Amino acid sequence: MPRLPDDKIIETVRLYREAMDETRDLYVESGELVRGSYAWLGGGDDPDAASVAEQMDDLHQGFLMKVFASVVPDASAKNMEQRQMGRALLEHIWGKSVLGGELHEAVDWLIGAAADFEWSDLVRPFVELPEIRDRWGELETVAMRMAHLLTAVDGRVSVADNENIDAMKRQFDRVHGGAPETLVSEVDTNNARDALQWLRSEAKRLREGVDPSAAEKPTPTPHRPTATQPAASPESVAKPAAPPDDRTPEQRLADAKSKLDQLVGLENIKDQISTLTNFLAMERKREEMGLPSSRPSLHMAFVGNPGTGKTTVARIIAEIYGALGLLTKGHLVETDRSGLVAEYAGQTGPKTNAKIDEALDGLLFVDEAYTLIDSDGQDQYGREAVQTLLKRMEDQRDRLVVILAGYPVEMRQMIRSNPGLSSRIGTTMQFDDYPPEALCRIFDLIASKSKYTLPTESRRRLLRGFTYLYARRDRHFGNGRTSRNSFERSVRRLANRLSKVDNVTRELLTTLEPDDIEVAGVDPVHLKAMAAVPGKVRVECKGISMVIDDQLLGTEVTCETCGEKFLADWGEPVPELPEGEDEPV
């Protein structure tokens, strides 16, 4: 097979640089999110507690090296084009070019150093920290994109190249446990604590070339390599401290509201939070002016099926309360029964109090809270946890907000059965299941963030699959997680398709074709058959709805009322009616 033209090689290198930048953004943004929710784990004045994002920046360098070495495992087998990709990677890590004869030795060092890294270490935050577990699909997606670019840069994709990519996929599956849909539902603060402590030491090792528990290892420190062993430059070790959060309360409140507005659906939740926020802001101003004011109970119950955004909304509420000055820290502590109830008599009270202490001046989110109370009243440990929680909710209501979350029926039974809870829960918010159009929009948001596009037929197939699942849903319906899992599966199908393509272009890397679309829980053959049948959707222009053929999804259509063109990105499925019947208005 002939070598790729120079312009194609240049374009491939450019796409590779873009993917590396995207990886850095993913790690750094995730670090900022973790810092916002777990700063209380940092140890008070510990300077590392304020630099989680920078530690994640260090970690992403090892991740990039590992991807490169997984695709080009043998330094002697690398070709000229792959060395150019190695140059781009070294420039990304070290911040300077590696020229001439040094390039060969530097790429050899890169591959050798990456052999000392373990996948489980490089991706551990995305497995163990609940705040960023849902970004696993983005991480795997960008890794596979870089892998395909590395194999295709010379225009010759060999059997060995495909085997290397398959081996990398298996490593991802092994690290993630092979069941992404189950991991995101687990909440374990002890894992979060351990993962952050590990992150600090691992970032230090990557930055300084020192393994605290073993011998010195070569690492991706930004320096100029030599023909023997790379040596870190002094200026590369120190990094500037993370900038403090200097936003005004007004800016923090505006940012939190913006996050809430950007959530797909949840209109009733948004209205409730907006009303409550406006009321609390008004009462605070009345208090500042010496006027009589009141403060309702801020404790809440979130009822809804899994994947409906309960934890995300709780995080935003914590930020809102922090911006309003109702909570001085405004952080979120997640837990469940395992974080409150001990195994032996006399230990549950202290364990529950310790968890509450972590949440003071912030928000405590108790998932599957109904598991603390059994129907026959024989669970004395769960009852002790509830009584401890109730006392602290009352005694420290000015420093603590508690949100109890879980399935609707069980949560209502729990609150009704306990007068102490019913009197302290000021607000109950109902999180409804996401309809098919909302599921599609969530999928689209995740895809857009990773720079994927969806042509019309892919949109039709996706909408048909989610409509099928929604119509047959039960209490275990995955909601937003179904969208996320479907995206990850679709990207894997794309990766498998691209493994058989020699000339991988930007368009191929960024387009999810109809045959790539996989909806979790729907047989691909059935999905294709459903999309073969014509259908219609209801779309809106400036609040006015109209019905169009779903083959126009993703295109501009003309509004029947105002005559203007607008993008019909998604729509609400319109059921087929027997001939002669009119659709209800």
Mean pLDDT over 371-396 rounds to 84
User: Where does the pLDDT of residue 512 fall: very low under 50, low under 70, confident under 90, or very high at 90 and above?
Assistant: very high
Looking at 382, 415, 431, which one is the last position of a domain?
431
User: What average pLDDT does this structure show over 383-410?
Assistant: 90
In this prediction, residue 542 carries a pLDDT of 84
Asked whether residue 80 is assigned to any structural domain, the reply reads yes
Instruction: Give the span between the Cα atoms of 134 and 38, in whole angstroms.
Output: 17
The whole-number average pLDDT for the span 340-347 is 82
Within this chain, do residues 491 and 540 fall inside the same structural domain, yes or no? no
CATH code for the domain of 505: 1.10.8.60
C-alpha 62/C-alpha 117 separation (Å) is: 7
- What is the model's pLDDT at position 513? 94
Q: Are residues 332 and 478 in the same domain?
A: no
- Read off the pLDDT of each residue in 232-260 and give the average, rounded to a whole number: 63
**C-alpha span between 522 and 226 (Å, rounded):** 54
Q: What is the phi/psi pair of residue 324, to 5°?
A: -80, -10
380 pLDDT band, cuts 50/70/90, is confident
Select, from the ranges 187-196, 412-421, 435-444, the one with the highest average predicted confidence (pLDDT).
435-444
Residue-level pLDDT at 183:
36
Verify that 85 and 153 share a domain, yes or no.
yes
Query: Same domain, yes or no, for 529 and 542?
Result: no
Distance CA 123, CA 111 (A): 18
Question: Is the alpha carbon torsion for 368, 370, 375, 376 positive or negative?
Answer: positive
Could you tell me what percentage of the chain is helix, strand and coil, using 3-state DSSP and rounding each to the nearest 5?
60, 10, 35
| Higher per-residue confidence, 247 vs 243 | 247
Q: Which of 516, 533, 550 is the last residue of a domain?
A: 533
Instruction: Establish if 223 belongs to a structural domain.
Output: no
Stretch 317-338: mean pLDDT, rounded?
88
The reply to whether 420 and 464 lie within a common domain is no
Mean pLDDT of the chain: 78
Question: Which H or E run includes 113?
Answer: helix 102-114
Residue 417 lies in a domain: yes
Per-residue pLDDT tens over the stretch 474-494: 888 888 889 988 998 898 888
Residue 472 falls within a domain, yes or no? yes
Both tokens of 231, joined, read 């040596």
User: Are residues 441 and 538 both part of a single domain?
Assistant: no
**Is 0.85 surpassed by the pTM of this model?**
no
pLDDT bucket at 198, cuts 50 / 70 / 90: low
Neighbours of 351 (CB within 10 A): 19
Q: Is 246 part of a structural domain of the chain?
A: no
For residue range 43-94, what is the model confidence (pLDDT) as tens digits?
444 444 446 777 788 888 888 888 888 887 665 545 667 777 888 888 888 7
Residue 249 lies in a domain: no
What per-residue confidence (pLDDT) applies to 49? 44
What is the pLDDT, as a whole number, of residue 311? 87
Do 98 and 23 lie in one domain? The reply is yes
Of 82, 181, 187, 193, nearest in space to 130 by CA: 187
Q: Mark out the alpha helices in 308-455 (DSSP H runs).
A: 310-323, 337-340, 348-359, 380-395, 408-417, 419-424, 436-449
pLDDT score at 35 = 65
Contact 458, 517 (CB under 8 A): yes
Q: Which of 401, 431, 461 is the last residue of a domain?
A: 431
pLDDT digits 0-9 by tens, 169-184: 888 878 766 444 333 3
Element containing residue 431 per DSSP (H, E): strand 427-431
In this structure, are 405 and 440 located in the same domain? no
Residues 411, 522 within the same domain: no
Is pLDDT of 232 > 50? no
**Do 547 and 527 belong together in one domain?**
no
For β-strands 300-304 and 427-431, DSSP reports them as: parallel
205: confidence class by pLDDT, cuts 50, 70, 90: low
- In this predicted structure, the answer to whether residue 204 has a pLDDT above a threshold of 70 is no
Angle at 401 between CA 378 and CA 275, to 5 degrees: 120
Domain-located, residue 247: no
- Portion of the chain with pLDDT greater than 90, in percent: 20
Helices (H) and strands (E) in the chain, counts: 24, 10
Is pLDDT of 185 > 60? no
pLDDT at 101: 60
Q: Note the pLDDT of residue 549.
A: 93
Domain identity same for 366 and 464: no
The secondary structure of 496-527 as a DSSP string is HHHTT-SS--HHHHHB--GGG---TTS-HHHH
Instruction: Assess if residue 231 is contained within a domain.
Output: no
pLDDT in tens, 134-143: 788 788 888 8
Give the Cα separation of 427 and 301 in Å (integer).
6
Both tokens of 251, joined, read 């800016």
Inform me whether the pLDDT recorded for 573 exceeds 80. Answer: yes
- Structural domain span for residue 567: 534-585
Q: Judge whether residue 208 has pLDDT over 80.
A: no
CB 364 within 8 A of CB 401: yes
Contact indicator for 413, 370 with CB cutoff of 8 Å: yes
- pLDDT (tens digit per residue) in 410-436: 888 888 888 888 888 888 999 999 999
Q: What's the structural domain count of the chain?
A: 4
DSSP string, 61-107: HHHHHHHHHHHS--GGG--HHHHHHHHHHHHHHHSS---TTHHHHHH
pLDDT value of position 225:
36
Q: What is the CATH number of the domain that holds 366?
A: 3.40.50.300
Kindly calculate the radius of gyration of the chain based on its CA atoms and give it in whole angstroms.
26
β-partners of residue 280 are none
What token pair was written down for 352? Answer: 């529950």
Q: Which residues pair with 556 in a beta bridge?
A: 567
Task: Judge whether residue 295 has pLDDT over 80.
Answer: no
Residues in contact with 443: Cβ distance below 8 Å, sequence separation at least 6, in sequence order: 462, 483, 484, 486, 487
Contacts 24+ apart (CB under 8 A), 242-246: 242/35, 242/50, 242/51, 242/52, 242/53, 242/54, 244/50
278 lies in the same domain as 177: no
Buried b (16+ CB within 10 A) or exposed e, 543-559: eeebebebebbbeebeb
- Matching residue, tokens 């020229």: 99
- Three-class SS of residue 304? strand
Residue 376 burial (CB < 10 Å; 0-12/13-18/19+)? exposed
CA distances from 64 to 145, 296, 369, 387, 457 (A): 12, 50, 40, 49, 34
